[in-house]
Structure 1
Amino acid sequence: MERTSNLRIESSDQLLTPRELLSELPATEEHLQTVEEGRKQIEDILSGRDNRLLGVIGPCSIHDPVMGLEYAAKLKELADEVRDSIYLVMRVYFEKPRTKLGWRGLILDPHLNGSNDIQEGLRQARKLLLDITAMGIPAGSEMLDPIVPQFIDDLLSWGAIGARTTESQTHREMSSGLSMPIGFKNGTDGSVSTAVNAMTSSRHPHSFIGIDEDGKTCILRTKGNDMGHLILRGGKNGPNYYRDHVESAGSQLREAGLIDKIMIDCSHSNSGKNHERQHIVLEDLVRQRLNGVHEVMGFMIESNHFSGKQAIPEDISQLKYGVSITDACIGWDETKSILHKSAEMLRSGKLSLQR
């Protein structure tokens, strides 16, 4: 019989099961308490019971777990200093969607050399989340591969669906079953309706094919996720974080019967893909809050130990410490400065934020 399937599959390797990884790297009561408290605080902000801003902040992507943990220690101290007005969640992104080609993230390629040691990537990702939550810091990540959540979602307090996947039926179904609040970014073209449709879909029950904790193919039946919310990240026509954009998006959300709380992504098209402009976006959204724009509930900032970005060198030992290998980030000194100034504005009601 002529062979008709797997003609372009070079090989297949058996992957460890979610149950095996969770048994190897188990979550303790301490870890789970951080996760649950983080989810509750975020849900309170989304529902209006907590009037603080939600800040999701951290490296564009994690490529060095040691460096990520050292960043978390800094963030913990900062979170405690601003917690009266801003609730901070660490951005811990392990997967990167690419427009064409490029490094796909720690889970897919932990050695940064194209070897795609996914087993090791999953282990490193879960271990880092355990270390971060043990410090009392809630973590958030983008949900890209629909299988990966089975390995790490018990350690996440918040999740995001990116601009490239908001329109994906697979990701809408997945989101309907995830246990944490999920932010949906507007489409890469700037379309808010794409995210509104995704939120509407994900708040309803779905049935789809997935895997269980033993790695067996199964039918997953979900309850629906009513904690979906919009993230404005700009689009092909430029930024969409200004007051008229926010109020228009809020109207669309209310018309659809959805939560009208909106997070602003200070990076990507809202900053013109210039990391040095993220502070401008942050200032504007804080001003909006102080001027009574109730829809603004939070922000995202790409931040690392040091500013800028770097290409992955052939000799990995030549990587600069604390510098992003994906999107450019602001450095820690600026991060700390603008967060403190934003918190002070929120405390005092002042409409002035200088770098």
Structure 2
Amino acid sequence: MLTVLSSAPSRKALLSAVPLSDAAKKTKLDNDKTIKDIVGGKDNRKLVVCGPCSADNPEAAVEYCVRLKSVADKVKDKLFLTPRLYVAKARTHGEDYQGLLMDAKEGGSLSDNAFLCRKMFVEVLERTGLPVADELLFAEQIEFFGDIVSYCFIGARQCDSPFFRGLASGLDVAVGVKNNLAGNLSLLAFSLQAIAMKRRFFDRGREVVSDGALCHGVLRGFSDSSGVMRPNNDGASVGEFARILKENKLNKFIMIDCSHANSGKNYLRQTENAINAIKNPLCGGIMLESYLKEGRCEGGVFGCSRTDACLGWSQTEELLLELHGLL
């Protein structure tokens, strides 16, 4: 049984309370095009999506993005940097911190959080001009943040779902789709095929038709039948996925998630994974979990991840400059 606590904020109310400037609107559209051009093979730069596992603190997230902008300007001829600003987290066991959007503090509401998240996204775009990347967990995120987010991801727990495939197929921005927790690359190809095609479905009380989205696969490793984490960022796995994409006439762009099962949950392995991915001509981009402070902290330490452990800022900056030098 559901108990209705309140109505979700309307798109009109959010855009009115936290608007984008005309300049930021143009920047957003320019970012959309750049990412699509890279994913679609028209721009040969490498994509790098990096940021905290969860953007839990708006002030820390904005500071991270301001720092990232300074590096982005140095490497922009070969790398296009996109901050990862996930505000809703899918938890395997349904426990623990579920993201800034879903963190119902005592006396507060999820609706309040929607305004807070939007304010953070707008500040990042207005101050840095960097594109915003977010993971789609709820249809409402499209209403709340669709005019700001330039890169959308479908996670390992949602990629096989017809609901999320339908939502993603209607997005106007590039969509990255992770392999599922079992690591089945053929199923990932099926998800990409479904998201790329025109679809007719029900969406938030409406019958709609989507045009299909420009999408690509993200290899994030997997857990085997015994629960042991296994990587799929090795040359053989990437080559096999490239073969599957070609066989099914799908977009050949492949991104490597350097964290999660590919790192065995050891955040320091991200550095090696990133270097290997950049050297692989089949890989068009990478994803890193990175924040102001290294590791993982309990209790809401400013700039330190409260979910997956992250690379610290100095490690991130050094790695990005090294990757640029390798290209």
What is the TM-score normalised by the length of structure 2? 0.94
Distance apart, 1:116 and its partner CA: 6.4
Look up the match of 1:220.
208
Structure number with greater Rg is 1
Distance apart, 1:110 and its partner CA: 5.9
- RMSD over aligned CA atoms reads 1.4
Look up the match of 1:105.
99
* Aligned partner of residue 275 in structure 1, secondary structure: coil
Distance, in Å, in 1 between the alignment partners of 2:153 and 2:81 is 15
Aligned with residue 331 of structure 1, among 299, 312, 317? 312
Distance apart, 1:37 and its partner CA: 1.4
1:156-167 alignment, distance < 5 Å: 156-167=149-160
Is the 1:63–1:110 Cα contact (8 Å) retained in structure 2?
no
1:116-135 alignment, distance < 5 Å: 117-134=109-126, 135=128
Aligned with residue 184 of structure 1, among 169, 174, 177? 177
Amino acid at match of 1:86: L
Look up the match of 2:241.
249
Distance apart, 1:75 and its partner CA: 0.6
Is the 1:203–1:228 Cα contact (8 Å) retained in structure 2?
yes
Distance apart, 1:22 and its partner CA: 1.3
Look up the match of 2:227.
none
Look up the match of 2:201.
208
* Aligned partner of residue 63 in structure 2, secondary structure: helix
Is the 1:147–1:210 Cα contact (8 Å) retained in structure 2?
no
Distance, in Å, in 1 between the alignment partners of 2:166 and 2:268 is 36
Aligned with residue 132 of structure 2, among 129, 134, 139? 139
> Is the aligned partner of 1:284 residue 2:276?
yes
Q: Which runs of 4+ in 1 moved over 6 A?
A: none
* Aligned partner of residue 9 in structure 1, secondary structure: coil
> Is the aligned partner of 1:303 residue 2:290?
yes
Distance, in Å, in 1 between the alignment partners of 2:2 and 2:232 is 42
Distance, in Å, in 2 between the alignment partners of 1:11 and 1:19 is 21
Is the 1:232–1:263 Cα contact (8 Å) retained in structure 2?
yes
The farther-off stretch of 274-283 and 10-19 is: 10-19
The farther-off stretch of 228-237 and 328-337 is: 228-237
Residues 255-301 of structure 1, C-alpha deviation per residue, up to 9 Å, x if partnerless? 1111011000000000011101100101111222xxxx2x2100000
* Aligned partner of residue 284 in structure 2, secondary structure: strand
Unaligned runs of 5+ in 1: 1-7, 212-216, 314-318, 347-355
Look up the match of 2:190.
197
> Is the aligned partner of 1:65 residue 2:46?
no
Distance, in Å, in 1 between the alignment partners of 2:181 and 2:26 is 36
Distance, in Å, in 2 between the alignment partners of 1:124 and 1:76 is 22
Is the 2:157–2:181 Cα contact (8 Å) retained in structure 1?
yes
Aligned length: 320
Distance, in Å, in 2 between the alignment partners of 1:182 and 1:46 is 9
